[in-house]
Amino acid sequence: MTAAARPAPAVLRAFRRPVGALAGAWLLLVIAAAIFAPLLSPYEYDIQTLKEAYQPPSAAHWLGTDEFGRDLLTRLMYGARTSLSVSAIAILISVLCGMTLGAAAGYFGGRFDRLVTVVVDLTWSFPEILIALILVAIIGPGTTGVLVAISVAYLAQFTRLTRAQIMTLKGETFIEAARSLGAGSGHILFRHLLPNALAPVLVSAMLATGDAIILEATLGFFGLGAQPPTPSWGSMMSAGSALLFKSPGIILFPGLAVAITVIAINLFGDALIAALDIRSRMRPPQ
């Protein structure tokens, strides 16, 4: 793997860009708030205090309270735990499975490649939300169902991308040299092909995480995600939709959290693409 293609130094270079630094700072802030929510908030996310319901933002409750008197900022931080962890873990599973299938199909070819291609193309033809709804309907609502649904919904994307990368790389001179020196298929795949195919997949995974957050929020909004009293950004928006004119903050703040976080992921992803110089490396030679 070339120095320009190594993901870790590229992340640092992405932070040196103004847009990347701003987007990365927001993402680090949200992740820190999700991890340290019990330490940052003096309130419990599930304790109801009905006499404090519908309070506006104040010194005691920075974002106000919801219909049950629960602190909105606290629930927003705990909701970030659910939304971010489910989305990130689902994309990680999808990446690992997709890279395994795509690498095997692209390298070995034959009937296995044709089978994987047919299944992936069939899955690719359906919108992610439709696949997710079908799987959640089969598995049942809850974080487990959403986790599986998002993983399967984005599996085709990473399988196709990895397969294309492997098929391009396996004809390169250094692969032929490794094969002529007696390197086995496993050595070639894990030491030469996959490391060089990793950077585009990681960038795609980061951008897909933003889409997964929206998908998780959508399922949560429909009541198919995390079940009460566990908060998620989607379920919080669902609860606030009926109270839009009475207490708009209940739906506004989690909606803004979703929107800003997804925008930050996309902006940081663009900065990472520039740092990795993927576009110029994928451009055909003149």
- Look at residue 242 in the predicted model and tell me its pLDDT: 84
Kind and range of the H or E element at 220?
A: helix 194-221
- Look at residue 203 in the predicted model and tell me its pLDDT: 86
Chain centre distance of CA 1 = 25
Q: Which residues of 196-213 are buried (b: 16+ CB within 10 A; e: fewer)?
A: bbbbbbbbbbbbbbbbbb
Domain that holds residue 189: 3-282
Which comes out higher in pLDDT, residue 31 or 5? 31
pTM: 0.88
* CATH value at residue 114: 1.10.3720.10
- Look at residue 32 in the predicted model and tell me its pLDDT: 96
pLDDT of 263 above 80: yes
- pLDDT range class, residue 7, cuts 50, 70, 90: low
With a CB cutoff of 8 Å and minimum separation 6, the contacts of 216 are 83, 86, 87, 90, 146, 150, 225, 232, 233, 234
Q: What is the pLDDT of residues 97-148, one digit of tens each?
A: 999 999 999 988 889 999 999 988 888 888 889 999 999 989 999 999 999 9
Six-digit token pair at 162? 């990895």
Give the CA angle between residues 57, 264, 130 to the nearest 5°. Answer: 95
- pLDDT range class, residue 6, cuts 50, 70, 90: low
Q: What is the pLDDT of residues 204-250, one digit of tens each?
A: 998 899 999 999 999 999 999 988 889 999 999 998 888 888 899 99
Q: What is the pLDDT of residues 52-110, one digit of tens each?
A: 999 999 999 999 999 999 999 999 999 999 999 999 999 999 999 999 999 999 988 88
Q: Whole-angstrom Cα distance, residue 106 to residue 174?
A: 17
- Look at residue 285 in the predicted model and tell me its pLDDT: 37
- pLDDT range class, residue 275, cuts 50, 70, 90: confident
- Look at residue 272 in the predicted model and tell me its pLDDT: 85
- pLDDT range class, residue 3, cuts 50, 70, 90: very low
CB-based contact 276:4 (threshold 8 Å): yes
CB-based contact 9:271 (threshold 8 Å): no
pLDDT of 2 above 70: no
Q: Whole-angstrom Cα distance, residue 154 to residue 157?
A: 5
Which comes out higher in pLDDT, residue 277 or 138? 138
Mean pLDDT of 151-161: 93
Helix (H, G, I), strand (E, B) or coil at 71: strand
Q: Whole-angstrom Cα distance, residue 141 to residue 284?
A: 46
- Look at residue 71 in the predicted model and tell me its pLDDT: 95
- Look at residue 179 in the predicted model and tell me its pLDDT: 77
In DSSP terms, which residues pair with 65 in a beta bridge? 71
- pLDDT range class, residue 283, cuts 50, 70, 90: very low
Which comes out higher in pLDDT, residue 275 or 81? 81
Number of domains in the chain: 1
CB-based contact 122:115 (threshold 8 Å): no
- Look at residue 278 in the predicted model and tell me its pLDDT: 56
In DSSP terms, which residues pair with 71 in a beta bridge? 65
CB-based contact 218:129 (threshold 8 Å): yes
Q: Whole-angstrom Cα distance, residue 20 to residue 121?
A: 34
